[in-house]
Amino acid sequence: MSKTLKTILIIASYVALTALTVYLFPRYNNAFNYHFEVGKPWGYDLVTAEFDFPIYKTEAEVLEQQREAVKNITPCYIKTAELPDGIHVLSLEDYEQLQTDGYKRVSIRTDKHVATTLPVSELLTPKSAYETYGLQCEPNIVPDSVTNMHLYQNAIESVSLTFGLVQSGERIIDRGEIVTSQIYQILISLARTYQEKNITHQQSIYVQIGELVLIALLIGLFVLYLAIIRPKLFPQLRATLFFSLLMALIIATSFIVLRLSSDTTLLYIVPFAWLGILTMVFYDARTALMLHAITVLIISLAAPSAYEFLFTQMLVGIVVIYSLRKMTQRAHLAHTAVLVGLTYALIYTALTLATTGSYAHLEIRVYMFIVANMVLIICAYGLIYIFERVFGLVSDVTLVELSNVNSELMHRFAEEAPGTFQHTLQVSNLATEAAKKIDANALLVRTGALYHDIGKLAAPLNFTENQQNGDNPLLRMSNTEAAQTVINHVSNGLELAAKHRLPQVIRAFIASHHGTSLVRYFYNSEANAHPGEKIDEAAFRYPGPKPTTKEAAILMMADAVEARSRSLTEYTEQTISEMVNQMIDAQIQDGQLADTPLSFRDVEAIREVFTDKLIAIHHHRIAYPTLNK
């Protein structure tokens, strides 16, 4: 992929993230963009009435009053026939409906428009008419549907939808005050009035422009952080896609919750801890904290009680980063989940008590939401696996699993190439100690060291460490053929790594552990056999690439030093120190470490570690006396 195309895709990722955020941004009302709940403190500045507006009743109050108004009407019936004794008979269904609706009297109209009002208790059904008067008859009164419909409509319309008036300039609520039921209804009425005033399209555009600018500034701040503090991550398309997708996931989830539900406590379910966990696992703590802060700031633009939300989520982010400095076991994730849950519960309890002064406002369901959040945090273990596969990343958990020497591939390595396997273990130990000394990734270099020579499994006996009877097949080949046979262990290792689906970061160790160095033994042999002739170095050089990271450089040095230490005839502090310096100096002079970020101080520290470790390994042991007979 060209550099220009990569740059375009990076820019497009951040633009897409901004556009998605603006699109999903919750809009409670274009002109009254506040969110509030009864019993919670008002999280915004002072609100005063800009105009006169009525206070609307709640929907429940209106329905109840309309129901009472309808009960007070007198249903109208039409008499269709005269019956003896002036009795009035209606169907059983109509009679039961009157009883159900609670009506006490009805109005009966004749065809001459003469109306009579009777108690419902004097009305009969066909059955009661027969039982009382011995008459078998059909109903002689039926409901007047048209008149009754008008009566119902008038009764409903007679109920006022409002119960008061707020005058222009009147103070409504200020920051920190508790939203009571009465104030809540006034705020709802104000929002409804704004909505009825039909906010213009132009105003709506201005609102969205303001949101776009704020969101773009925050995302731009994160990009600026990468450019200045993490310049290596800034141009990486993979890192950009990772950060954009993770932010989009949390922002979209939060905004959808706010758009679909008025219950803002549901935000306690949203796993904001994923931001810190996933970024910590694949990158570093500082980037994790920055990503968490920017994402939370964006969501706070729409979240109710923004200060409370920010306070809570920033503390949670710090707890996540502190508790998950290294994640090498699943238990670490569970530990983080527990700490996050306790933090949420403690903050929610304290804030509620501080703002309401009563434990009665503590809600059990919020604690249930927090438990659900803890479960989602543990589910991040599965997300780590998904992100590894999608982005080609590797976590410490995966590195720990790969460094298990009892795995199938490592077991085969130990069985088929025991000498190389022992060499690998020694290199791994040397590289790990050196990485710790210069603050490199010790777990990464340890794992890479275990796999750097697996290509020798293709032909173990071609390498001296696996030869037991002194027979070396390479000596029966020409120097060029022998050199190519040795060089091929790199390509063979990459093929084996691909077959076993080893992460790309591990394959990089296999490819670069010799860099572009010469297979010195066979090159020198060829030069000695053809004195005065120019030898083609390309046939004796590894294909590379050269190491580009501290970890890869450490492995290259450890591999060369450990292999050379096996050929020493005398193990003293002087011989070991001279050998270490000679091997590392040769690599530096050959330009193999030129592309790495190692400093002179780092190289000196590595020399010291290698020397001390090899001296400890090869120190003289006490000769045990034999037992005199």
Q: Which tens digits make up the pLDDT trace of 404-435?
A: 888 889 999 999 999 999 999 999 999 999 99
Q: Over range 593-611, report the average pLDDT.
A: 93
Q: Which residues contact 140 (CB under 8 A, 6 or more apart)?
A: 79, 80, 81, 82, 83, 88, 89
Query: Tell me: the pLDDT tens digits for 254-307?
Result: 999 888 876 678 889 999 999 999 998 888 889 999 999 999 999 998 887 778
Q: What is the pLDDT of residue 449?
A: 95
**The residue to which tokens 């129901």 are assigned:** 67
Q: Which residues contact 439 (CB under 8 A, 6 or more apart)?
A: none
- Residue 217's identity, in one-letter code, is L
Confidence category of residue 470, pLDDT binned at 50, 70, 90: confident
Q: Which residues contact 271 (CB under 8 A, 6 or more apart)?
A: 250, 373, 376, 377, 379, 380
Q: What CA–CA distance (Å, rounded) separates 205 from 199?
A: 11
**The residue to which tokens 């709802």 are assigned:** 188
Confidence category of residue 252, pLDDT binned at 50, 70, 90: very high
Task: Note the pTM of the prediction, 2 decimals.
Answer: 0.69
Query: Tell me: the pLDDT tens digits for 511-570?
Result: 999 999 999 889 888 888 888 888 888 889 999 899 999 999 999 999 999 999 888 888
**Whether the bond into 545 is cis, omega within 30 of 0:** yes
Domain chopping of the chain, boundaries: 3-26+202-391, 63-157, 396-617
Q: What CA–CA distance (Å, rounded) separates 513 from 492?
A: 14
Q: Kind of pairing, strands 47-48 and 53-56?
A: unpaired
Q: Kind of pairing, strands 53-56 and 162-166?
A: antiparallel
Cβ–Cβ under 8 Å, residues 523 and 564: no
Query: Tell me: the pLDDT tens digits for 218-250?
Result: 999 999 999 999 998 999 999 999 999 999 999
Question: Partners of 166 in the beta sheet?
Answer: 53
From 124-128, 328-332, 534-538, 602-606, the region with the lowest mean pLDDT? 328-332
Q: What is the pLDDT of residue 337?
A: 92
What is the token pair recorded at 603?
A: 């190289």
Percent of the chain exceeding pLDDT 90 equals 48
Q: What CA–CA distance (Å, rounded) separates 111 from 279?
A: 85
**The residue to which tokens 């992460």 are assigned:** 503
Q: What angle do CA 28, 31, 34 make, to 5 degrees?
A: 45
Q: Which residues contact 259 (CB under 8 A, 6 or more apart)?
A: 24, 26
Q: What is the pLDDT of residue 621?
A: 57
How many alpha carbons lie under 13 Å from residue 542 in its C-beta half-sphere?
24
Q: What is the pLDDT of residue 382?
A: 85
Top CATH class of 396-617 equals mainly alpha
Cβ–Cβ under 8 Å, residues 73 and 152: yes
Residue 346 has pLDDT above 90, yes or no: yes
Q: Over range 195-215, report the average pLDDT.
A: 74
- Residue 257's identity, in one-letter code, is V
User: Residue 423 burial by CB count (10 A; 0-12/13-18/19+): exposed, middle or buried?
Assistant: buried
Q: What is the pLDDT of residue 71?
A: 87
**The residue to which tokens 């996933």 are assigned:** 278
Percent of the chain exceeding pLDDT 70 equals 94
Among residues 455, 363, 472, 364, the alpha carbon closest in space to that of 416 is found at 455
Query: Tell me: the pLDDT tens digits for 24-70?
Result: 988 654 556 677 777 777 877 788 888 888 998 888 889 999 988 98
Q: In whole numbers, what is the pLDDT of the chain averaged over residues? A: 88
Q: What is the pLDDT of residue 629?
A: 61
Query: Tell me: the pLDDT tens digits for 366-417?
Result: 999 999 999 999 988 888 888 888 888 888 888 888 888 888 899 999 999 9
Q: Over range 177-205, report the average pLDDT.
A: 77
Beta-strand (E) ranges in 17-114? 47-48, 53-56, 76-79, 105-109
Residue 357 has pLDDT above 80, yes or no: no
Cβ–Cβ under 8 Å, residues 203 and 279: no
Q: Over range 131-151, report the average pLDDT.
A: 89
DSSP 315-327: HHHHHHHHHTS--
More confident residue, 198 or 69: 69
**The residue to which tokens 């991040």 are assigned:** 380
Cβ–Cβ under 8 Å, residues 219 and 22: no
**The residue to which tokens 């039921």 are assigned:** 181
Query: Tell me: the pLDDT tens digits for 85-112?
Result: 788 999 999 998 888 888 889 999 887 6
Q: What angle do CA 174, 179, 182 make, to 5 degrees?
A: 110
